[in-house]
Amino acid sequence: MLAAFEIPPVATATSDIAQSDETSQEIVNHGEAKSIEKLVETDARCGVQNYGRLAKAFVRGRGARMWDAQGKEYLDFLGGIAVVTVGHSHARVAEAVSQQMNAIQHSSNIYYIEPQVRLAEKLSELSGGMRAFFCNSGAEANEAALKMARKCVKSRDANRFEIITTLDSFHGRTYGSLAATGQPKYHEGFEPMPGGFLYVERNNIEALKAAVNERTAAIMIEPVQGESGIWPMTLEYLRAARELCDANGAVLIFDEVQCGMGRTGKFFAHQWTDVKPDIIVMAKGLGNGVPIGALLARDEVAAAFVPGTHGCTFGGNFISTSAALATLEVLRDEDLMNNAHVVGKYFESELQKWNNETGAIKEIRSHGLMVGLSLNEPKAKDLMRACLEDGLVFNAIGDDILRFLPPLCITKSDVDDAMKIIARAYSAI
């Protein structure tokens, strides 16, 4: 295992979290189910073809399970790419959204929005007093972070504008967040990229030091890189970034869009360390499937935004903030962060046992319920497809990396079920 930060051992085992007794038959199926062939044909005719979709369509979900239109059950170990934090169709989140929909849906940020203010207060408590700005996605939140960091630093020194990020990072697909993304393959065809971005090798402290100069405005890091296959940053690297920002008057941004919301066992991944950022970016799992993004910033940095500086029409709306408030309550009340730590350790140990039998794995990289596997052979896509047909959902990154990001409510029993499917599928491909 590639260790990220010092994580204390689990002191005591915890009991599996009980799942709902509801069966797929008891879950309301909204709308008439269409055949997958008809969906594929209609999408090919009407939709922009920018997704390499798999030929599945899910119509119901509960906890860590989903069902397709034909009633087949799947164990979800992707969670909508780290979006489904507390489980599919959680009753408390659904009720919060339903109540709000029946009250008022939109009024604009020209006026105060009560659940938005309550959510800002909750996130301030969880982040140690930071201020919140709300938008609709991780890309939007990263755009806001880039703008805030530059405006904050340029107010002191107009020559500072460069943002340093890491290679293999992913920060979004808008032009600013795309320029911050340290993967050239995402830039192809969209050049020229906005200027002012430098990329350095992850966990290479000397490269980071060499990149900092009199033009540096910010260093932007994912404490655990997600999109490229679960690559944790070392404690030493994060400390070095903090020290360099302090010494050079730059802003330290942590992109926790994928690794935040309790996924590593603490609310923020960086909380496993003693390093505190100036800006935290979050999205994905904050609304348990309802789109919402958030930027959190220290007082001095947040002061860069004044009326007219930045905004978002739908940011912090009634629906998304109500969903986020309910999600945070469930995360706390059902002890799901601790569950992520405990079950994540169990999953890692079961993967290692399987590897001892098969020799399939080159490396396991895990931090709570962020789990990445590098395989010894280029079988990732074949294994993903075989497992999907057998009822297990996860995704492949390239030819040799598997990524698992399940809802934080999964149990050890779910892990056992997943391992059986993985073993069966691997032996068949």
Q: Counting Cβ atoms within 10 Å, is residue 204 exposed (0-12), middle (13-18) or buried (19+)? A: middle
- Closest Cα partner for 120 from 407, 324, 358? 324
Phi, psi of 65, deg, nearest 5: -120, 145
| Residues 138 and 218 grouped into a single domain | yes
Tell me how far apart the alpha carbons of residues 368 and 346 are, in angstroms, rounded to a whole number.
10
The sign one gets for the Cα dihedral 133, 135, 141, 146 is negative
* C-beta separation of 293 from 283 below 8 A: yes
Instruction: Please check whether residues 77 and 62 belong to one and the same domain.
Output: yes
- 221 and 289: one domain? yes
Which CATH number characterizes residue 358's domain? 3.90.1150.10
Q: How does pLDDT run along the chain (429 residues), one tens digit per residue?
A: 444 444 334 333 333 333 444 444 444 444 445 689 999 999 999 999 999 999 999 999 999 999 998 999 999 999 999 999 999 999 999 999 999 999 999 999 999 999 999 999 999 999 999 999 999 999 999 999 999 999 999 999 999 999 999 999 999 999 999 999 999 999 999 999 999 999 999 999 999 999 999 999 999 999 999 999 999 999 999 999 999 999 999 999 999 999 999 999 999 999 999 999 999 999 999 999 999 999 999 999 999 999 999 999 999 999 999 999 999 999 999 999 999 999 999 999 999 999 999 999 999 999 999 999 999 999 999 999 999 999 999 999 999 999 999 999 999 999 999 999 999 999 999
Q: Tally Cβ neighbours within 10 Å of residue 196.
A: 16
**CATH number, position 152:** 3.40.640.10
- Does one domain contain both 82 and 216? no
| Domain closes at, from 298, 313, 333 | 333
- Final residue of a structural domain among 333, 368, 383: 333
Examine residue 278 and state whether it is found in any structural domain, yes or no. Answer: yes
Last residue of a domain, one of 333, 350, 375: 333
Provide the residue range defining the domain that includes 353.
24-33+52-86+337-428
To the nearest 10 degrees (0 to 180), the angle between helices 318-333 and 114-127 is: 40
pTM for this model (two decimals)? 0.92
Has residue 267 been placed in a domain?
Answer: yes
Helix pair 412-428, 336-358: axis angle to 10 deg: 30
If phi over 0 gives left and psi between -120 and 50 gives alpha, with beta otherwise, what is residue 292?
beta
In a domain, 302, yes or no: yes
Domain contains 40: no
Residue 42 falls within a domain, yes or no?
no
**203 and 260 part of one domain:** yes
Same domain, 74 and 111: no
Tokens of 230: 């679960």
* Together in a domain, 69 and 130: no
Does 327 share its domain with 364? no
One domain, residues 306 and 355: no
The DSSP symbol for 393 reads: E
- In whole angstroms, what is the distance from residue 69 CA to residue 74 CA? 12
Which two tokens mark 282? Answer: 């979050």
Beta strands in 277-388 (DSSP E): 279-282, 293-297, 361-367, 370-375
CA atoms within 13 A on the CB side of 367: 30
Structural domain includes residue 7: no
Are residues 341 and 329 both part of a single domain? no
CA–CA separation, 240 and 237 (whole Å) = 5
Q: Is 303 left (phi over 0), alpha (psi -120 to 50) or beta?
A: alpha
Number of domains in the chain: 2
